[in-house]
Copies of this chain bind each other. A is one copy, B any other.
């Protein structure tokens, strides 16, 4: 029996062996939610011109300022800049317009009234030079660094891409992922249930976890507990996908064909078995074409915990996503841990009145007990060798 690998060592081994998946250009309309793989700099000054911030009139400021102006024209948003030729005149302006040449003050329409072709300031109106003007370059200068490679393209980032003329954007390629369930006892969600059979569910959970992190190229399949069938299915999957996630068949039993099949196909084992509960039998290896192969235990809690704890962070790192600092939570109750194994315990998380993330443990009795997991938010990681007490701050992993 192989030695147990520690959690930190397993993470490190996976990180050191993961392949890179490259980048690709996509149209801006398809880029939302993807991981950026280029830097983005300002196309030009922002705003690109002295920009009118209110509907009203633009004037040339001086002291004393006249109380009425002849309206010499209109400068609408989108128009090329007009010029104010006459110091005693004004130009009507709209929000977003270029400030007309020769003007340095905008007076809001609410503070004026029209008298024929003249614009008259209200008695209460006391304009100051520069008011309601958003100066060219006040937000950023042309060439300024705006977006860094590795960020997820969220709403503000999409606005910045669009505003800066990035019609096509370089994003991380998404690996093609096969999720393969093993087990003779498994049947599909709509199949009649024979005695001794259960419905396949790990593949759906892993696919949902992948989708929620933006990995949409996921294919599901199942293989029976048979060495030849397993070898055949894995050979086909290795040919078609860059990442394989298996559930089940990785323990020490006579029906656990996954390690033997992977070995026969030239998938090199990096480690087998982690000092953790649940998920001890987890296996990780690298295929002949650098395919990443995660063989997870078949129990539902084990498979999902290992998927969230190892597979997703490894895939995110491999596509170049910036690593977010680990979420920390504070336990609101003591929870059993283990002297020699890292324990993963489901929790519900809620902010307290001081904005602390408080985690309430909802331990499962066995790694087969998954019915309560939908009413939790994720799990905490409890290091080996000490009891976890209320008030302890520990790492949290969201489902």
Asked whether any CB of chain B lies closer than 8 Å to the CB of A186, the reply is yes
Question: Chain B contacts of A365 at CB under 8 A?
Answer: 138-139
CA distance A151 to B208 in the complex (A): 14
Alpha-carbon separation in the docked complex, A153 to B255 (Å): 33
Give residues of chain A (19-70) contacting chain B, Cβ–Cβ below 8 Å.
28, 32-33, 42, 44, 46-49, 51, 53, 55
Stretch of A9-17, A259-267, A284-292, A323-331 lying at the B interface: A323-331
Q: How far is the CB of A122 from chain B (nearest CB, A)?
A: 14
Q: A198-B48, A201-B159, A255-B76 are in contact. Are A96 and B185 (CB under 8 A)?
A: yes
Complex interface: chain B residues within 8 A of A279 (CB): none
Q: Are A97 and B208 in contact (CB under 8 A)?
A: no
Chain A contact surface mostly: loop
Q: Which of A28, A154, A304, A366 has the most CB of B within 10 A?
A: A154
- A318 close to chain B: CB less than 8 A: no
Q: Can you tell how many copies of this chain the complex includes?
A: 2
Residue among A51, A76, A147, A164 with most chain B CB within 10 A: A76
CB neighbours (8 Å) of A154 from chain B are: 208-209, 212, 374, 399
Those of A141-160 within 8 Å (CB) of chain B? 144, 146-147, 151, 153-160
Task: Please tell me if the beta carbons of A185 and B155 are within 8 angstroms of each other in the complex.
Answer: no
In contact, A253 and B156 (Cβ under 8 angstroms): no
Known: A77-B196, A97-B185, A139-B368. A355 touches B373 (CB 8 A): no
A136 to chain B, nearest CB (A): 12
Kindly state whether residue A357 has any CB partner on chain B within 8 Å: yes
Q: How far is the CB of A81 from chain B (nearest CB, A)?
A: 7
8 contacts between A and B (CB under 8 A): A33-B211, A76-B184, A97-B196, A110-B252, A138-B366, A154-B208, A161-B189, A357-B357
